[in-house]
Amino acid sequence: MMDAIQDAWNGLNGWLFEAAVQPALYALGLMAWAEDAFDWMDFFMFGLLQVAIVYAICRPLEAWKPVERWGDRRRVRVDILYTMLARLGILPLIAFIAFSAMESRLAGLVADSGWVPPTLETLVPALREYPLLALLTYIVVMDFGEYWRHRFQHTFGWWWALHSIHHAQTQMTFWTDDRNHVLDDVIGALWFGGLALLIGVPPGQFPLVVIVLRLAESLSHANIRLSFGAVGERLLVSPRFHRLHHGQGRDLANKNFAVLLPIWDWIFGTADFRRDYFPPTGDGSPADAPVHGGWLRQQMVGLRRLGAALTR
């Protein structure tokens, strides 16, 4: 099954490259970049697939039962730009490939030492025989890592200076998931890719882990009046559960950090399971006023906040 999907994916990439990218490179006199452009197609197509899946699921839900309606959606359009830059660049995959290259260079040194680095499959050999169970295990472990990365974003002043750009949105939609400072994205990609290598996520399963967690993040940011109920909200993060995290006031922002599984908030005492509370979003504190304007202005604000946090 996986081989058939991979063959279809490679066939589509090849057709698009020959039909669109290669003629454009030829017309521009850039055929020397053809090999690099072909490799880039994988990243672009994977990002496009993510955007298509998220839009197909989240946009109808937002139209069905929105929490808020706005006449002026310019702030939402900025978040769409964030998404295109983040998803079509696929920073987590780039980080994963970068770490893979580093790992291959270190493999010889490790082999010479006779020490085999443990992975989940070496610690739990049964995972090798059950790929679906292995995939679910990788998702749970990566989700646990994302919970702690998110908490650290709120813990360290310099990291919050960057992450506050994400919390500044007062018109939160599923596009807001990717509203991050570029430095925050780079750190997150290195964190995610590094953890994936540490636990031994196979390259063939890594894209599936990314899609599941990114879809969960986008749905949790959706502008929809939706709760999963008293039991469901303890199993999966809902739009209501995460909207409380984006509510105005740092007391709310320090609750509900989880990406997919609320059990991490439950275990570590950061859960708020109020079921019918849909607060207005945005960072309403005087020190961190909501950021408006375009993408570049918001990036500059993030750098100024970072500089101020580092010099305190």
Domain spans in the chain, listed from the N-terminal domain onward = 2-311
- Residue 285 identity: S
Question: What confidence category does residue 231 fall into, taking pLDDT thresholds of 50, 70 and 90?
Answer: very high
CA gap 31, 25 in Å, rounded: 5
- Give residue 102's pLDDT: 61
Query: For the whole model, what pTM was predicted?
Result: 0.84
- Give residue 63's pLDDT: 94
Phi-psi region of 232 (alpha: psi -120 to 50; beta: other; left: phi over 0): alpha
CA gap 274, 253 in Å, rounded: 14
CA gap 22, 16 in Å, rounded: 9
Who has greater pLDDT, 122 or 262? 262
Who has greater pLDDT, 20 or 206? 206
- Give residue 124's pLDDT: 83
- Give residue 174's pLDDT: 96
CA gap 257, 271 in Å, rounded: 8
Who has greater pLDDT, 244 or 111? 244
Who has greater pLDDT, 116 or 127? 127
The number of residues making up the chain comes to 312
Distances (CA, A) of 59 to 45, 224, 229: 20, 10, 22
- Give residue 18's pLDDT: 74
Who has greater pLDDT, 299 or 125? 299
The yes-or-no verdict on residue 176 having pLDDT over 80 is yes
Who has greater pLDDT, 3 or 127? 127
Structure tokens at 275: 């079921």
- Give residue 22's pLDDT: 74
What is the tens place of the pLDDT at every residue in 54-83?
A: 999 999 999 999 999 998 888 899 999 999
